[in-house]
């Protein structure tokens, strides 16, 4: 009796000591869940978001996964990421935040279409309140293709989300063995597996032999240091992105204003430069209270203040390091939090 009293807590203690971290997988769809639309494994046509997470998980080596993590999974959405909306980001973020509050969840992997993975990851980067790892993974080839990249990306994502090294690194995307920060990522190629690149500085690290190697940390504020709180967010204001080109006139700006937008992110040419007629229309929009952010149509920033455009006089904010799509998310969150002062929004562009 006495031995039992002593032995049971001891065994329980050992159990905790050797238990693998629990990684919770949230599936949303995308090519990682895509199925070829013909029986040929080399054909390029497929439908995204066809395969459920339970089937995707069967492609992973069970015994090797068990060395790193216990898995739980849930199909939270099932769409190609071009169909995801800001409302979907909120659904995903609230679920992630709730799961990470649980003591028995150590990390999250989100399977996601690659087209807008940079947007969902940036949104999560700014609203998740936890140091536990959150990793988004996708695939460029459907699950039925020869040499599908999804299983490897998912495996790397699980290992990364279960690792101690990933704690506090913010929201990450792992693809093609690279670890990227949600604060600095963009999809650069519509077909190649090596598509994700940092828009500015460099990848966070690599996955190698089932271990993350971090090379740097992001100095942009994120997750626990972000001021935005998903529990207080149930919708996001409309913010449009408009794309600049030679010979552009003001009609697209007028259409955006007429649609009731609360903000415009303008992907200008060069250092976010804008043709005279568009500049006038944007300045008038700003005077009416519509927030205008000058971003750029090139992959990398910075889009600086005090260049060719007098931002203060015209009522503009600049995106600095952010792609137009990342700057849009910062602006949406600012407006949702009733931050409307241009100087304050400018600060947010610099610190996140």
Q: Is 138 in the site for ligand GLU (CB under 6 A)?
A: yes
Which range touches ligand GLU (CB under 6 A), out of 75-83, 169-177, 219-227, 276-284?
Answer: 75-83
Could you give the C-alpha distances from 141 to 35, 36, 38, 49, 265, in angstroms and in order?
9, 9, 14, 12, 32
SS3 content of the chain, % helix, strand, coil (to 5): 35, 20, 45
Nearer to ligand GLU, 171 or 345 (CB): 171
171 contacts 148 by C-beta, under 8 angstroms: no
CB of 256 to ligand GLU, least distance (A): 24
Q: Is 80 in the site for ligand GLU (CB under 6 A)?
A: yes
Nearer to ligand GLU, 100 or 180 (CB): 180
Out of 22, 28, 31, 144, the active site residue is 31
Q: Is 140 in the site for ligand GLU (CB under 6 A)?
A: yes
CA distance 150 to 34: 10
Q: Is 30 in the site for ligand GLU (CB under 6 A)?
A: yes
Q: Is 88 in the site for ligand GLU (CB under 6 A)?
A: no
CA distance 141 to 150: 7
Q: Is residue 324 helix, strand or coil?
A: helix
User: Strand 263-268 vs strand 239-243: parallel, antiparallel, or unpaired?
Assistant: parallel
Report residue 37: phi and psi, to 5°. Answer: -90, -5
CA distance 321 to 304: 9
State which of residues 113, 133, 212, 301 lies at the interface with ligand GLU (CB under 6 A): 113
Q: Is residue 171 helix, strand or coil?
A: strand
Nearer to ligand GLU, 105 or 329 (CB): 329
Q: Is 109 in the site for ligand GLU (CB under 6 A)?
A: no
Q: What residue number has its CB nearest to ligand GLU?
A: 113
Q: Is 142 in the site for ligand GLU (CB under 6 A)?
A: no
Nearer to ligand GLU, 125 or 153 (CB): 153
Q: Is 150 in the site for ligand GLU (CB under 6 A)?
A: no
CB of 78 to ligand GLU, least distance (A): 10
The contacts of residue 133 (CB under 8 Å, 6+ apart) are 106, 107, 108, 160, 161, 162, 163, 166, 167, 169, 172
Q: Is 48 in the site for ligand GLU (CB under 6 A)?
A: yes
State which of residues 58, 82, 189, 235 lies at the interface with ligand GLU (CB under 6 A): 82
186 among known catalytic residues: no
State which of residues 111, 114, 120, 186 lies at the interface with ligand GLU (CB under 6 A): 114
Quick one: DSSP state of residue 152?
H
Interacting positions 250-289 with ligand GLU (CB under 6 A): none
Which range touches ligand GLU (CB under 6 A), out of 113-121, 129-137, 282-290, 328-336?
Answer: 113-121
State which of residues 31, 163, 178, 256 lies at the interface with ligand GLU (CB under 6 A): 31
| Helices 86-101 and 117-127, packing angle to 10 deg | 50
First vs last Cα of the chain: how many Å apart?
59
- Kindly list the residues in this chain that would bind ligand GLU in the complex (CB under 6 A): 30-31, 48, 80-82, 113-115, 138, 140
Which amino acids are annotated catalytic?
31
């Amino acid at each position: 009796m006495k031995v039992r009293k002593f032995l049971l807590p001891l065994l329980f203690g050992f159990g905790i000591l050797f238990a693998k971290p629990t990684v919770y997988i949230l599936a949303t769809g995308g090519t990682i869940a895509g199925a070829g639309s013909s029986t040929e494994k080399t054909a390029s046509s497929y439908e995204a978001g066809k395969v459920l997470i339970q089937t995707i998980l069967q492609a992973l080596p069970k015994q090797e996964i068990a060395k790193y993590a216990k898995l739980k999974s849930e199909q939270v959405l099932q769409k190609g990421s071009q169909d995801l909306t800001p409302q979907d980001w909120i659904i995903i973020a609230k679920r992630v935040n709730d799961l990470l509050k649980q003591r028995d969840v150590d990390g999250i992997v989100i399977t996601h279409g690659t087209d807008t993975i940079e947007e969902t990851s940036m949104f999560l980067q700014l609203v998740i309140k936890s140091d536990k790892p959150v990793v988004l993974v996708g695939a460029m080839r459907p699950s039925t293709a020869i040499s599908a990249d999804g299983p490897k990306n998912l495996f790397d994502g699980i290992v990364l989300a279960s690792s101690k090294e990933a704690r506090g690194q913010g929201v990450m995307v792992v693809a093609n063995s690279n670890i990227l920060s949600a604060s600095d990522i963009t999809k650069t190629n519509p077909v190649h597996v090596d598509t994700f690149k940092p828009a500015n500085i460099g990848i966070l690290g690599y996955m190698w032999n089932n271990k993350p190697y971090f090379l740097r940390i992001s100095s942009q504020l994120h997750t626990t240091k972000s001021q935005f709180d998903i529990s207080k967010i149930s919708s996001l204001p409309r913010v449009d992105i408009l794309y600049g080109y030679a010979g552009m006139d003001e009609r697209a700006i007028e259409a955006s204003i007429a649609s009731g937008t609360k903000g415009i992110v303008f992907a200008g040419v060069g250092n976010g430069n804008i043709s005279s007629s568009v500049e006038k229309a944007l300045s008038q929009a700003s005077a009416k209270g519509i927030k205008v952010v000058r971003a750029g149509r090139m992959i990398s920033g910075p889009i600086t203040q005090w260049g060719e455009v007098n931002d203060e006089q015209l009522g503009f904010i600049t995106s600095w390091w952010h792609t137009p799509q990342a700057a849009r998310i910062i602006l949406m969150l600012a407006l949702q939090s009733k931050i409307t002062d241009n100087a304050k929004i400018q600060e947010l562009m610099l610190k996140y």
